[in-house]
Structure 1
Amino acid sequence: MTQVPRSALLLGLAGVLPFAWGALTLFWPALAEWGVRALGPRFVGPYVQLFYGSIILSFMSGVLWGFVARAERGGAMGYVLSVIPALWAFFMTGGGPVSAAINLMAGFLGLLLLDFAFWRWGLAPRWWMHLRVLLTALVVFCLAVTAFL
């Protein structure tokens, strides 16, 4: 079994914090009130999750694009597939917090399928899927709190 580099694991887990923070502020009103006073209203509850989730899907598009560009193979199809997460975030995150959270959940699950494809094609590092499955599970769980609470 290939081990995820420690720095990638720690930074990946740190990237889950805004999703977890948003979910926690939905459970504890006092925490949400503190967050609004200390950070501002867009940094609590679904607002932080949905805005940050859109950014992360777009970031992951860039990661996939980078895999194709670095390998100098994968062709046009690799580039086309790599922009899907960013386009998904752009078109599917409107319409209120519940539908946006559900659409982001679908986007992250779809991204996991793309991660798997790029990994199978040898474009991603050997450890990639170990990290992506963990991070996707955590993100989808946090978004599910917003979508179904």
Structure 2
Amino acid sequence: MTAIATIPRSALILGLAGVIPFAWGALTVISGDLAGWGLRALGPRFIGPYVQLFYGAVILSFMSGVLWGFATKVEGERAAVGYGLSTLPALWAFFMTGGGPTSAGLSLIFGFLGLLVLDWQFWRWGLAPAWWMQLRVLLTALVVICLGVGVFL
């Protein structure tokens, strides 16, 4: 059995589906033809780094909610710390994604890497499922690679 087999199938499929907008954005950066089609069919907000930036801010905010949910499993000081830490990804997205596509893309890369540290901490505290880090490392790697295309190409 591989490590990935321990991740529930639905979580893995939905997690990978969540990477699609990042991958689409990267593909439309790489392929002018695909970008042209996307521009005509979907509009400028849904191609290139723009779809990545908007969606990335949404996902960091979503992940704040996931971490908040993990924090509800404990009480007292650990809960207060968990609730506080859980707000960081959404606040990062809100404050750090302005200033143009390159700056915002770099901020999202750092935001997702920081989120991975928070994921690890919540997992280490036993608040996340046992398979959580296997899923989060995979998804974070894919997201960072896709965002890197938008930033560096």
List per-residue Cα deviations over 1:92-137 (Å, max 9, x = no partner): 0000000100000000000000000000000000000000000000
Task: Find the counterpart in structure 1 of residue 117 from structure 2.
Answer: 113
Q: Unaligned regions of 5+ residues in structure 1, if any?
A: none
Secondary structure of the residue that 2:119 maps to in structure 1? helix
Q: How does 1:14-93 map to 2 (within 5 A)?
A: 14-69=17-72, 71-73=73-75, 74-93=78-97
Secondary structure of the residue that 1:126 maps to in structure 2? coil
Q: How does 1:2-21 map to 2 (within 5 A)?
A: 3-21=6-24
What CA distance in whole angstroms lies between the structure 1 residues aligned with 2:79 and 2:63?
A: 18
What CA distance in whole angstroms lies between the structure 2 residues aligned with 1:111 and 1:75?
A: 18
What CA distance in whole angstroms lies between the structure 1 residues aligned with 2:58 and 2:141?
A: 18
Q: Which amino acid aligns with 1:54?
A: A
Query: What is the TM-score of this pair, normalised by structure 1?
Result: 0.97
Task: Find the counterpart in structure 1 of residue 108 from structure 2.
Answer: 104
Shift of 1:75: 1.9
Task: Find the counterpart in structure 1 of residue 144 from structure 2.
Answer: 140
Secondary structure of the residue that 2:18 maps to in structure 1? helix
| Fraction of identical pairs, as percent | 72
What CA distance in whole angstroms lies between the structure 2 residues aligned with 1:75 and 1:56?
A: 23
CA RMSD of aligned residues (A): 0.9
Shift of 1:88: 0.1
Structure 1 residue runs of 4 or more that deviate by more than 6 Å after TM superposition = none
